[in-house]
């Protein structure tokens, strides 16, 4: 494979598209599949067969974003904002839909595309999502894929690639927000001959599905980003650690690795150079803590998925004690564009300290739940009320939870705040991996805190005492408060315990577990206090605990 | 010091073995010294049947196991200016709380049916209802001082009481610990 | 894919650094942990999962100390010294944290000292006394864990276990048997022998008893001991660790 081969494939794909009268794209990401897009795809294919109409191309594609309106089907244009988009399509609609091609659209199924949900987005990571067939490498190549890798390994030095990433100001999209360029440079500097690249695809935050969508919709983009990372830091081996709960993403990734290896873009002697880059998939067995980098590496090594104290950081001593670069899916998915268009171009998007775009998963009490990609620095209000379409059923907005179990709840007063790493942190929440759960006036903030604490309690690995024995007590206290059986001294104890768990836990899971409690206490303290009874009516919890097994 | 200025002291024995009260009696001749400054107004070791409405210092031995214990703990808290949890049962639940991991019905059957030769059967009246879970005193009412030990030694009790009488807040962890 | 061969570099030169612990000026090798340095200089930092001679685990979080310029406390056992570090081992905040961590441990499982064979010889009990933990404010969980008496000489009472994994480490790193490991997660974590088989049926256990000696509580004990009779001796561990290193 060389640049000319890529150009040939692009031309061939374009020529094939030219010869088609129409192109119908059916979303085959997990969300649309779960509401029957597989049948829709089959229905349309049957229609095409019955009508012996070679001029129509029925194409399975990845996520189109507006998951709440799925199954989604788009016609002709590859830009959602200009395409004819159909929502809630069922297999019974396929006949009408097929016959309407080139004629009047099927009005009853139409999904408006001139709305902020489509117009306000800016896509980098998701630029191919919903457009290309994720199982066809040629589609990705035709959309400009693997050009960056090819150019990097043939025309650029490692330092040049590194410089672009540094220049871009890209920060880790997994939640930490650590500057990617700095991390890469540290690994690149390590003198050891053996290094590893790891793609962290163990997305586990409740309500977050960004990485899943990227892997299901455009897996090659992630592979290309990983290969670029490998080139820049000098690693020839890589792992993708992905949770087994994402079977579709795993399958597409494996397909993509096979295709890319066959084409000489991965594996030995990539892109006709002396370089190697081998990628292996490792499945996580359902532990949230394995998203923590040291636990993740332990899991890849075949040990119990438990974190260890840092330092040493993975960049210095990672997988099998070798220098290791660990980046999240979305971080790596940004890399081909950064190397291709330049770090300066990326830096021009977003704000000074939070460059580029960010993918968010909108969920909860919001009209348009689904996946969006917006430039950093966009006000929360725009995400919730414009792109998200506001709160359904005429209810009032109450809070938005960002950052999953490690994040916090932000009330209305923060709606005009720009969404950036630092502003979110100063408001008591975090960017996190990009889950956004919207709550309306009927949501109880104590219940929200209790929900996230239950999650952390269940997911605690049990290694360190404050997290293992602390989250279970925090959950108990929140449960007591929610049930109206707590007194002011319980609330005091809750706050003290939050401080201890936050300050002394070994890894990020425990250190951030109290965040949802602390942020709801900060902005909705009255909801806690309303549920308290006087100290003289102290009510002990009389319960015994039975173990899991 | 006249009688009217004596410190009033009340003690009660909840779910425990009475060992802490025995330890109190182990003060021996120091009891005489104590009696000059303190008036024991309610206790298993005196005859009074009623807890006065206001007491300076209350001492509770034993854990809260029954409705009766709960009532007594609340009454003590209501009437005592300063409340002390004396001994591991009062402070942590200790041995009585070891029944917490069993089902209450099983506990009753073991006590009144399985191990009884003559007339096995659960008592149906005149016994206070058992709580589902045995609890330390401070999980039911607010406690001002915790004296650990099983039982706390007479010396520990003496140290605590003399410090209190001197108007200081004692630190029992200097003299005792869990299981001591 | 194979993992790389172990590095064969010669031992790098170790520098000496000076630092301050609680206003004492101390010197140390830069590879030493804060906990080791403190111990060498007679400064007491409470700890539970740490044991001289075993690998660092960093899980009990009792040895947290404050370092000037750091916003969060760090565990002294897993943090190495750097030149000019200023360390506080016993601030009001650290005392509060230690107390709460001990409360959490006492509430997690059954730690009724008065009837324990390790009463009077228990590190958890001593730590409670040392840190002034005189009562537990959080509710006792009252969970039932199992007791395994199947071994001829020893018994494991999971109700008294604090999951410090000293037994796991001594068995793996010193005895070389790796009979012990951990299963489950969160509060359901439990040390196990072999693949969670009865200890008495273990094929790998050499009955050396090291695990019993290093256990800080009454979880691993010799059979036939009554309340307060189980005394432990773990001072052999650093010696054996040295001997193993030399081999």
- Domain made up of C115-234: CATH architecture: 2-Layer Sandwich (3.30)
User: In CATH terms, are C16-90 and C115-234 the same topology?
Assistant: no
Is some CB atom of chain B closer than 8 A to the CB atom of C245? no
Q: Report pLDDT for C244.
A: 84
Confidence of residue C14 (pLDDT cuts 50, 70, 90): confident
Domains of chain C by residue range: 16-90, 115-234
Eight-state DSSP code of residue B120: -
Nearest of C116, C182, C109 to residue C144 by alpha carbon? C109
- What residues of chain C, 94 to 123, have a C-beta less than 8 Å from chain B? 106, 110-116, 119-120
**Rounded-to-integer distance, Cα C131 and Cα B150, Å:** 19
pLDDT tens, A33-82? 999 999 999 999 999 888 876 688 999 999 999 999 989 999 987 776 67
Q: Determine the distance from the C-alpha atom of residue B121 to the mean position of all C-alpha atoms in its chain, rounded to a whole number.
A: 29
* Mean pLDDT computed over every residue of chain C: 94
Q: Determine the distance from the C-alpha atom of residue A71 to the mean position of all C-alpha atoms in its chain, rounded to a whole number.
A: 20
What average pLDDT does the segment C208-221 reach? Answer: 98
- What residues of chain C, 113 to 172, have a C-beta less than 8 Å from chain B? 113-116, 119-120, 125-126, 128-129, 132, 134-137, 139-140, 142-144
Is some CB atom of chain B closer than 8 A to the CB atom of A321? no
Q: Report pLDDT for A298.
A: 96
**Rounded-to-integer distance, Cα A152 and Cα A168, Å:** 16
The answer to whether the beta carbons of residues A243 and A203 sit under 8 Å apart is yes
**Other Cβ atoms within 10 Å of A429 Cβ, number:** 26
Q: Which CA distances in Å does A535 have to A455, A488, A525, B138?
A: 29, 6, 18, 12
**Closest chain A residue by Cα to residue B64:** A540
B173 CB neighbours in chain C (<8 A) are: 129, 132, 134
Q: Determine the distance from the C-alpha atom of residue C131 to the mean position of all C-alpha atoms in its chain, rounded to a whole number.
A: 17
- What residues of chain A, 462 to 491, have a C-beta less than 8 Å from chain B? 489
**Closest chain B residue by Cα to residue C112:** B94
Residues in a beta bridge with C191:
C182
Nearest of A273, A281, A230, A275 to residue A257 by alpha carbon? A281
Q: Determine the distance from the C-alpha atom of residue B71 to the mean position of all C-alpha atoms in its chain, rounded to a whole number.
A: 13
Structural domains counted in chain B = 1
Q: 């917006």: which residue's tokens?
A: A374
Q: Return the C-alpha torsion angle B38, B44, B47, B53, nearest 10.
A: 60
CATH number assigned to the domain covering A20-113? 3.40.30.10
Q: Look at strands B55-61 and B7-13 and give their pairing.
A: parallel
**Closest chain A residue by Cα to residue C1:** A237
**Per the CB < 8 Å rule, is A309 touching C144?**
no
Rg (chain C; Cα; Å): 19
* Mean pLDDT computed over every residue of chain B: 93
CA angle B15, B19, B25 (to 5 degrees): 125
Nearest of A45, A64, A66 to residue A54 by alpha carbon? A45
Nearest of C98, C89, C101, C95 to residue C42 by alpha carbon? C89
Out of B101, B133, B141, the one facing A538 most closely (by C-beta) is B141
**Per the CB < 8 Å rule, is A538 touching B101?**
no
**Per the CB < 8 Å rule, is A503 touching C143?**
no
Q: What's phi and psi for A354, nearest 5 deg?
A: -130, 95
Class of CATH domain A356-440: alpha beta
Q: How many CB pairs under 8 A join A and C?
A: 130
pLDDT tens, C61-71? 999 999 999 99
A538 CB neighbours in chain B (<8 A) are: 139-142
Q: Look at strands A435-440 and B7-13 and give their pairing.
A: unpaired
Confirm or reject CATH 3.40.390.30 for domain A445-530, answering yes or no. no
Q: What's phi and psi for A19, nearest 5 deg?
A: -75, -10
pLDDT reading at B50 higher than 80: yes
**Per the CB < 8 Å rule, is A460 touching C97?**
no
**Per the CB < 8 Å rule, is C3 touching A459?**
no
Class of CATH domain C16-90: alpha beta
A543 CB neighbours in chain B (<8 A) are: 132-133
The answer to whether the beta carbons of residues A411 and A524 sit under 8 Å apart is yes
**Rounded-to-integer distance, Cα C160 and Cα C124, Å:** 10
What average pLDDT does the segment C94-108 reach? Answer: 98
CB-based contacts of A60, cutoff 8 Å, min separation 6: A25, A26, A28, A41, A133, A134, A135
Nearest of C108, C177, C163, C112 to residue C140 by alpha carbon? C108
pLDDT tens, B95-143? 999 999 898 889 989 989 998 888 898 887 778 889 999 999 999 999 9
CA distance, residue B73 to nearest chain A CA (Å): 12
**Per the CB < 8 Å rule, is B133 touching A542?**
yes
Is some CB atom of chain B closer than 8 A to the CB atom of A492? no
**Rounded-to-integer distance, Cα A314 and Cα A253, Å:** 24
**Per the CB < 8 Å rule, is C113 touching B178?**
yes
**Per the CB < 8 Å rule, is A489 touching B139?**
no
Question: Residue C114 is encoded by which pair of tokens?
Answer: 């008065």
pLDDT tens, C193-207? 999 999 999 999 999
Nearest of A497, A423, A420, A414 to residue A453 by alpha carbon? A497
Q: Which CA distances in Å does A267 have to A144, A223, A259, C31?
A: 21, 11, 11, 39
Question: Residue A234 is encoded by which pair of tokens?
Answer: 């000098």
Q: Report pLDDT for C3.
A: 58
Is some CB atom of chain C closer than 8 A to the CB atom of B170? no
Is some CB atom of chain C closer than 8 A to the CB atom of A81? no
Out of C110, C116, C129, the one facing B177 most closely (by C-beta) is C129
> What's the CATH number where B17 sits?
3.40.50.700
- The segments of chain A whose pLDDT lies below 50 read 549
Alpha carbons within 13 A on the beta-carbon side of B46:
16
pLDDT reading at C6 higher than 60: no
Out of A489, A535, A544, the one facing B100 most closely (by C-beta) is A544
> Which percentage of chain B shows pLDDT scores above 70?
98
Which DSSP string do the residues of C193-223 spell out, in sequence order? ETTT--GGG-SS-----HHHHH-SSSSEEET
**Closest chain A residue by Cα to residue C8:** A192
pLDDT tens, C147-192? 999 999 999 999 999 999 999 999 999 999 999 999 999 999 999 9
**Per the CB < 8 Å rule, is B142 touching A542?**
no
**Per the CB < 8 Å rule, is A468 touching C141?**
no
Q: Is residue A9 helix, strand or coil?
A: helix
**Closest chain A residue by Cα to residue B131:** A542
**Closest chain C residue by Cα to residue A504:** C61
A541 CB neighbours in chain B (<8 A) are: 133
**Per the CB < 8 Å rule, is A466 touching C61?**
yes
Is some CB atom of chain B closer than 8 A to the CB atom of A274? no
Is some CB atom of chain C closer than 8 A to the CB atom of A195? no
Confidence of residue C215 (pLDDT cuts 50, 70, 90): very high
Flag whether B30 is in a domain. yes
Q: Report pLDDT for B1.
A: 44
Class of CATH domain A145-343: alpha beta
Q: Report pLDDT for B123.
A: 83
Q: Report pLDDT for A549.
A: 45
Residues in a beta bridge with A73:
A26, A86
In A123-193, beta strands by DSSP E: none
**Per the CB < 8 Å rule, is A543 touching B133?**
yes
Which DSSP string do the residues of C106-145 spell out, in sequence order? HHHS---GGG-TTTTS-HHHHHHHHTT--S--SPP-----
Q: Report pLDDT for C5.
A: 53
Q: Report pLDDT for B124.
A: 78
B131 CB neighbours in chain A (<8 A) are: 542
Flag whether B95 is in a domain. yes
Range of the domain at B88: 7-174
**Rounded-to-integer distance, Cα A66 and Cα A89, Å:** 13
Domains of chain A by residue range: 20-113, 145-343, 356-440, 445-530
Question: Residue A160 is encoded by which pair of tokens?
Answer: 């040049």
pLDDT reading at B2 higher than 60: no
């Amino acid at each position: 494979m060389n640049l000319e081969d890529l150009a040939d494939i692009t031309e061939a794909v374009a020529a094939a598209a030219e010869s088609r009268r129409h192109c119908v794209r059916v979303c085959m990401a997990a969300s649309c599949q779960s509401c029957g897009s597989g049948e829709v795809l089959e229905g349309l294919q049957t229609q095409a067969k019955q009508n012996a109409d070679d001029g129509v191309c029925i194409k399975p594609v990845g996520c189109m974003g507006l998951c709440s309106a799925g199954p989604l089907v788009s016609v002709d244009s590859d830009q959602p904002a200009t395409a004819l988009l159909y929502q809630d399509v069922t297999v019974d609609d396929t006949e009408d839909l097929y016959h309407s091609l080139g004629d009047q659209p099927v009005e009853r199924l139409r999904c408006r595309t001139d709305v902020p949900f489509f117009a306000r987005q800016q896509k980098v990571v998701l630029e191919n999502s919903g457009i290309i067939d994720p199982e066809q490498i040629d589609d990705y190549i035709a959309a400009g894929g693997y050009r960056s890798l090819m150019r990097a390994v043939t025309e650029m030095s490692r330092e040049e690639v590194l410089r672009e990433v540094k220049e871009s100001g890209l920060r880790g999209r997994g939640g930490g927000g650590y500057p990617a360029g700095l991390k890469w440079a540290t690994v690149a500097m390590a003198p050891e001959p053996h290094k590893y690249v790891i793609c962290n695809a163990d997305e586990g935050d409740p309500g977050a599905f960004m990485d899943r969508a990227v892997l299901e919709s455009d897996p090659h983009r992630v592979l290309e980003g990983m290969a670029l990372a490998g080139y820049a830091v000098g690693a020839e081996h890589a792992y993708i650690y992905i949770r087994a709960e994402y079977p579709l993403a795993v399958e597409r990734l494996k397909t993509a690795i096979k295709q890319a290896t066959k084409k000489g873009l991965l594996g030995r002697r990539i892109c006709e150079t002396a370089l190697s880059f081998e990628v292996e998939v490792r499945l996580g067995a359902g532990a949230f803590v394995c998203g923590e980098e040291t636990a993740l590496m332990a899991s890849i090594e075949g040990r119990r998925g438990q974190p260890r104290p840092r330092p040493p950081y993975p960049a210095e001593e990672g997988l099998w004690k070798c220098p290791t670069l660990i980046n999240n899916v979305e971080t790596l998915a940004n890399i081909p564009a950064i190397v291709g268009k330049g770090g300066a171009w990326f830096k021009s998007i977003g704000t000074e300290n939070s460059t580029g775009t960010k993918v968010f998963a909108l969920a909860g009490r919001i009209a348009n739940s689904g996946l969006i990609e917006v430039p950093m620095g966009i006000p929360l209000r725009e995400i919730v009320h414009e792109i998200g379409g506001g709160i359904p059923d005429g209810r009032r907005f109450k809070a938005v939870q960002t950052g999953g179990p490690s994040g916090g709840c932000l009330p209305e007063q923060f709606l005009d705040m720009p969404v950036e790493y630092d502003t979110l942190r100063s408001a008591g929440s975090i960017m996190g991996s990009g889950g956004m759960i919207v709550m309306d006036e009927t949501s109880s903030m104590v219940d929200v805190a209790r929900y996230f604490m239950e999650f952390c309690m269940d997911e605690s690995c049990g290694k360190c005492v404050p997290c293992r024995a602390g989250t279970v007590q925090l959950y108990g206290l929140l449960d007591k408060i929610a049930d109206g059986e707590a007194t002011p001294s319980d609330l005091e104890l809750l706050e003290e315990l939050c401080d201890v768990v936050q300050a002394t836990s070994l890894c990020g899971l425990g250190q951030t577990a109290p965040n949802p409690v602390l942020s709801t206490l900060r902005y909705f303290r009255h909801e806690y206090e309303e549920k308290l009874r006087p100290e003289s009516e102290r009510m002990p919890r009389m319960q015994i605990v039975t173990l899991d097994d | 010091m006249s009688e009217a200025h004596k410190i009033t002291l009340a003690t009660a024995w909840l779910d425990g073995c009475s060992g802490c009260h025995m330890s109190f009696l182990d003060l021996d001749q120091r009891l005489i010294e104590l009696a000059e400054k303190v008036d024991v107004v309610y206790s298993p070791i005196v005859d009074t049947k009623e807890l006065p409405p206001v007491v300076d210092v209350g001492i509770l031995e034993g854990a809260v196991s029954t409705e009766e214990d709960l009532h007594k703990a609340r009454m003590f808290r209501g009437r005592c200016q300063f409340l002390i949890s004396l001994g591991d049962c009062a402070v942590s639940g200790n041995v009585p709380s070891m029944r917490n991991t069993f089902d209450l019905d099983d506990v009753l059957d073991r006590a009144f049916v399985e191990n009884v030769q003559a007339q096995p059967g659960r008592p149906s009246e005149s016994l206070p209802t058992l709580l589902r879970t045995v609890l330390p005193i401070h999980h039911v009412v607010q406690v001002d001082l915790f004296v650990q030990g099983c039982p706390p030694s007479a010396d520990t009790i003496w140290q605590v009481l003399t410090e209190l009488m001197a108007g200081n807040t004692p630190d029992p962890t200097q003299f005792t610990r869990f299981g001591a | 894919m194979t993992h790389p061969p172990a590095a064969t570099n010669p031992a790098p030169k170790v520098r000496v650094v000076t630092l301050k612990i609680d206003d004492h000026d101390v010197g140390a090798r830069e590879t030493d942990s804060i906990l080791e340095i403190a111990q060498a200089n007679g400064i007491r930092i409470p700890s539970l999962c740490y044991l001289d001679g075993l690998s660092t685990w960093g899980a009990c979080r009792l040895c947290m100390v404050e370092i000037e310029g750091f916003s969060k406390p760090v565990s002294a056992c897993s943090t190495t010294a750097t030149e000019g570090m200023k360390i506080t081992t016993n601030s009001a905040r650290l005392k509060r944290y230690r107390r709460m961590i001990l409360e959490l441990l006492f509430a997690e499982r059954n730690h009724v000292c008065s009837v324990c064979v390790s009463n009077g010889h228990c590190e958890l009990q001593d730590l409670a006394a040392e840190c002034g933990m005189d009562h537990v404010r959080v509710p006792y969980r009252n969970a039932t864990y199992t007791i395994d008496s199947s071994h001829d000489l020893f018994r494991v009472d999971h109700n008294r276990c604090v999951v410090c994994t000293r037994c796991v480490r001594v068995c793996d790193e010193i005895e070389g048997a790796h009979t012990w490991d951990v299963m489950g997660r969160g509060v359901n974590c439990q040390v196990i022998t072999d693949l969670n088989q009865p200890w008495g049926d273990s094929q790998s256990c050499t009955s050396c008893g090291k695990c019993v000696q290093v256990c800080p509580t009454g979880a691993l004990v010799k059979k036939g001991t009554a309340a307060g009779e189980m005394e432990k001796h773990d001072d052999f561990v650093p010696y054996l660790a040295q001997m193993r290193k030399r081999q």
